[in-house]
Amino acid sequence: MNFNITTDNIAGIKSDLEIIIVIDKALKHRFIADKKLLEKAGFSGEQDEVCHLIGKNRLYVGAESLKGDKLRPAVATALRSLIGKKAYKSIKIATYLSHPRCTASLRAMVEGIVLGSYTFTTYKSKRVKSSIKNVEISLEGYNEHEITTEVAARAVRNGEISANATNFTRDIVNTTPEDCYPKIMANIAEDLAKNSNLKCKILKPKELKKEKMKTLLAVGRASRHGSRVIHLTHKPKNPKAIISLVGKGLTYDSGGLSLKPADYMVTMKADKSGGSAVLGIMKAISEMNLPVEVHGFVGAVENMIGGDAYKPDDVLKAKNGKTIEIRNTDAEGRLVLADTLCYAQQEVKSDYIFDFATLTGACVVGVGHYTAGVMGHNDEVTSLVTYGAEVSGELATKLDFNPYLKKTIKSEIADVCNISNTRYGGAITAGQFLSEFIDDEHKNRWAHIDIAGPAFVEHIWGENPHGASGAGVRMTIRLIEKIVRSEDKNGNKHIL
């Protein structure tokens, strides 16, 4: 998809179709030439309501306001309605800004165009996809706010990169376990590095044994696919901060010997969403060439059953020497993350460390399908995550640790148990388990992000299609951009 920014008035631009966003049901706005037809069609301009006037080559869509979280899904809905319509190869759209000096709405609009055009057709015999190739963006504004071509180009570019990285992540998550296993995830990372300025290091089973990553290896022991740990690096000169991203890459999770019920096994290809998000974030960081050093770590493992499977009642030793009593082999993601977090801290002393995981069904029960749970020991760090979610259009909420729930993961025979002794607060106890593998130096620099809810939903919602959403990608890009802006006047790194 090619984006072109022009100072021409919207009426003078040639295209197959014009998209007009109706803000807050304002059908009398100067951009709207078809008020009577829209009223006749019963269009009122509700959020995400679409009316395609075929004879006029105009497509109207409603948005409650000019804010990004309203524009993004509205535009995505409009573009989604064009999928499979081959007559439309080019569109034009004006600029919608909520503030004269803020391009967040323009960036959100571009993200909506790219995200709404997404289809996953790998396994379809008949592949229906978007035909849109060219997008003309006129700097003629809804509120007549003036904006320079240079400023607009930066917003468009960042929006395009962010959305493409999200779609890249969606593709990985949507790929079946037969076609995406640990070796394939490592191959994706290596290809990503070859086509960018990223560096890539892959740890295979022999290297993992040398690194004493026994809990990660135990989870993957019964699989025919050897486990991998991926380390991608973006390292510019004079970075303003050093950030580590750690992702759970369970390419498939059967539950192990604590076997999942059949209907719970469906969609478990999505258990690699955290690791996939890390790959997508690294792609975007490299393309945006942000002045921060970012390390992406992914623990890529398949949890299967067999004669060599790890068992309930086993006691495993993690990389940092802590012992773990296994009481449920379906609480495997935290074991993979335990060793991967330890390895990440060994390799890099970071100013911030964020981990991403479809870790618990309890998080979905607690906050719903669409919202990520954010945990940690430092309010400033967890607030960075919720800030990134808010400005990117993702949803995230803090879940506070407390000492009483921490007691529920105490083991009588090991240092810690991999599940709690209560059915309640499972998202928080999983986060507190991970905290056992964060060293003192990073304790106040770490946040855990449970994306079990939004990562994979089996219906369309907002700018997201059925299936993988790419949760965590746009959120993290935004929080990293905030860290870049927080550099003080003396040029010092922003360190907690």
Residues designated as active site: 260, 334
Residue 295, beta-bridge partner list: 233, 244
Distance CA 193, CA 299 (A): 17
Distance CA 254, CA 223 (A): 11
- Alpha helices (H) along 20-86: 35-40, 68-80
Question: From residue 1, how far is each of 91, 475, 478 by CA, in Å?
Answer: 11, 23, 23
User: b vs e for 215-245, b when ≥16 Cβ sit within 10 Å of the residue's Cβ?
Assistant: bbbbbbbbbebbbbbbbbbbeeeebbbbbbb
Which regions of 69-115 does DSSP assign to beta strands (E)?
90-95
User: What is the layout of strands, in order, in the sheet containing 90-95?
Assistant: 2-6, 134-141, 90-95, 17-23, 58-63, 50-53
Listing DSSP states for 362-381 in one string gives: HHHHHH-TT-EEEEES-HHH
- Whether 353 and 450 have beta carbons less than 8 Å apart is answered as no
Question: Around Cβ 100, how many Cβ atoms within 10 Å?
Answer: 11
Residue 233, beta-bridge partner list: 199, 295
Would strands 228-234 and 293-303 be described as parallel, antiparallel, or unpaired? antiparallel
Alpha carbon distance, N-terminus to C-terminus of the chain: 40
Question: From residue 132, how far is each of 15, 16, 124, 231 by CA, in Å?
Answer: 11, 10, 20, 36
- Whether 174 and 468 have beta carbons less than 8 Å apart is answered as yes
Residues 6+ apart with CB under 8 A from 369: 453, 454, 457, 461
Residue 427 DSSP SS3: helix
- Alpha helices (H) along 348-472: 361-367, 379-392, 403-406, 426-435
User: Please, how many CA atoms are within 13 Å of residue 233, restricted to the half-sphere of its CB?
Assistant: 14
Distance CA 391, CA 72 (A): 11
Listing DSSP states for 221-260 in one string gives: TTSSSPPEEEEEEE--SS-S-EEEEEEEEEEEE--TTSPP
DSSP annotation of 54:
G
